[in-house]
Amino acid sequence: MPRILVFQHVAAEPLGTLDRLIRARGHRIRFINFERHPDAEPEIDRYRGLIVLGGPMNVDQHGERPHLRTELRAIERALALGKPVLGICLGAQLLAHALGAPVRRHSQQEIGWYALELTDYGHADPVISPLTPASPVFQWHGCTYDLPAGASQLARTDSCEQQAFRYGENAYGLQFHLEMDAPLIERWLGSPSYAEELAGAGLSQNAETIRAATATHLAVMQPRAEAVFNRFLDLIGRPARKLVLPSR
């Protein structure tokens, strides 16, 4: 049975709604949780695709988090093998960095709900195009990246230019969180470390305004997110059906 490798950085940032979509296709998921197993050395060659999730750390924290170098090597290997790669938030930054682009602190954090604007490439892209103009997406990040050489910019927001890109035919970086559902958003808002980050960001959005916006925007985002994720999973393919021979 084909397997998908998932890099997870903290328990609070799981696959979310993407988990159900992967399992519905019959794929097995192999999680590497680097918070629990920082010395893991995964072999990407054995897997059909790679998904790199978000986390509160930064790409440049190699000294205190050497697993980030491990992840960069795995991403580079996946790209060399032509395997589908999806990076979400920190995962998008790691993908951009593996492609030679700098990652840095952004001038303004994005936390909460933001209107996404697709570029012309985004409108034509076979994976991300279900995110129609001004699609509301959920954000939680303080860093940004430059567009990697040879990549196509797919989306932006008013407050952060780089929101999504594609490299080659099947490597995607998404700065925003399409995998969110209401319990996961509430989990983040209720986490002391996440709440402290939100309070210190100096944004107009706070926990209560985010909850109110979630009640409005989540129902709009989720079907579009499902379409995007399913189109990415199409790049990985479906497990082959076992041939059942008729009994004699």
Q: Which residues are catalytic?
A: 89, 177, 179
| 231: its two tokens | 């189109």
CA-closest candidate to residue 57, choices 119, 124, 12, 118: 12
The three-state secondary structure class of 144 is strand
User: Residue 197 to residues 68, 134, 204: CA-CA distances in angstroms?
Assistant: 22, 26, 13
In whole angstroms, what is the distance from residue 206 CA to residue 220 CA? 21
> Facing residues of 7 across strands?
32, 52
Q: Can you give the C-alpha Rg of the chain in angstroms?
A: 18
